[in-house]
Amino acid sequence: MDQTFSLRQLRPEDGSAYAALLAASPDTGSVGMAVHFEIDPFQALLGLHSDTVGVVAETPGYTGLIGSGLIRFRSCQWDGQALPSALLNTLVVHPDFRRHGLASQLAKWREDSARARFGEQGVIWAIIQSNNTGSERTAQKWASQFLMHRLVTVSNKMRSNPPSSSGDFTVRPLQPDDFETVVEQQNGFYQDYNLYPSETSASLSAWLTETPFETPFRHYLVVTGKAGDILAGFALAEIGRLRKTIITHLPPFLRLGNRLLHVLPPDGVLRELVISRAWFASRQIEALRSLFETVRWEWRDRGTSLIFFADVRSPLVELSAVRPWTGKTIESFALRGPTLCSPDRLFYYA
């Protein structure tokens, strides 16, 4: 049966309907996930990324939204150039309205919106979870380049016991006098990564300050050596204050592993602490690992899982001892830029 769809931009008053759509449309990748918002859904989206624009779909005779998609605008590095970019994410179609071309219409709306903002001299990209064939088919309509199985998302459970102490490292919050040093170190670490949005002291300060709550939900932690020099750092966002992730499906081997090792909470509800901007000075991976393990212990009451993303070839993969039973997913990049990018470069996502 033919369907008539109307598309428009997501508005603040759509929050409840948007949440209902996500609840009715869990992800169909190898790991199924659904979202439950802890605050107004529209404000939660802006809290996650203030540069987000959304599209929603409606149809006559149905109360509510039947589809949606998000665009996150920011700058990025592209083979040594600084270009505007649009990350296309969270494309959702209600199960009752799939296989009628709606996903393609939503994807085209997002692509057209991105092109309207920056023309052909920008980068449009998306992350596609392995085995999500619907998203792969949709991306094939606009992407000119696919980098398969290049991004790992690792979910680490919080520690139940403190890590071994080391007198070599001290973990502390970022201080105002640290910004210039940290931004220089962070940008230097990612200077050759594609899709990395180069940072300034002002942009990092503004990002840490943004919050829909009375208190910050984003933080930046560093680790110093015996001489007080900053050796590593990362940003940490209490995403669980904005929304919870509910696991609706696990592959059998992950389900068995979770029963034995309790990687995921028994109720399948994740309150995520998400790492971004992770970096370490030359030969200081152990400093970053010390920071990582300290957070797993000292922040255990603020979340159930510590999440980080890394190119599968990045040294950041060493941050966590990834085992076959570790909670992780492997994703691919769908890309379209003014030129094809070098697949040999590392890629950034957060």
Average pLDDT of the residues in 244-256: 73
Collect all residues with Cβ–Cβ distance below 8 Å to 60 and sequence separation of at least 6. 4
Task: Give dist(CA 270, CA 42) in Å, integer.
Answer: 20
User: Binning pLDDT at 50, 70 and 90, where does residue 344 land?
Assistant: very high
Query: Stretch 16-35: mean pLDDT, rounded?
Result: 80
Structure token pair of residue 166: 């080391």
pLDDT value at residue 204: 98
Residues of the chain with pLDDT > 90: what percent? 76
What's the residue count for the chain? 350
- Please report the pLDDT score of residue 207 as a whole number: 97
Residue 1's pLDDT is what? 41
In whole numbers, what is the pLDDT of the chain averaged over residues? 91
Lowest mean pLDDT among 50-64, 256-270, 292-306: 256-270
Q: In order of start, what are the domains of the chain with their CATH numbers?
A: 6-154 (3.40.630.30), 155-244+263-328 (3.40.630.30)
For residue 188, the model assigns a pLDDT of 98
In contact, 332 and 128? CB cutoff 8 Å = yes
- For residue 99, the one-letter residue type is R
Which residues share a beta bridge with 170? 224
Q: Where are the beta strands (DSSP E) in 106-252?
A: 123-129, 145-157, 170-173, 218-224, 230-238, 243-249
Record the pTM. 0.90
Predicted confidence (pLDDT) at residue 218 exceeds the cutoff of 80 = yes
Query: How do residues 222-237 score in pLDDT, each as one tens digit?
Result: 999 999 999 999 999 9
| pLDDT range class, residue 328, cuts 50, 70, 90 | confident
pLDDT band at 254 (very low <50, low <70, confident <90, very high): low
Tell me the mean pLDDT in the region 288-307.
Answer: 96
Instruction: Render pLDDT for 67-84 as a digit per residue (tens, 0 to 9).
Output: 999 999 999 999 999 999
Q: What is the dihedral of CA 195, 138, 240, 224, to 10 degrees?
A: -20
Give 155-207 pLDDT, tens digit per residue: 888 999 999 877 889 999 999 999 999 999 999 999 999 999 999 999 999 99
Token duo for residue 113: 């919106």
Kindly tell me if the per-residue pLDDT of 56 is higher than 50: yes
Question: Which of 34, 349, 21 has its CA nearest to residue 196?
Answer: 349
Q: What number is the average pLDDT over the span 250-264?
A: 65
Average pLDDT over residues 100-118: 94
**CA 88 from centre of chain:** 12
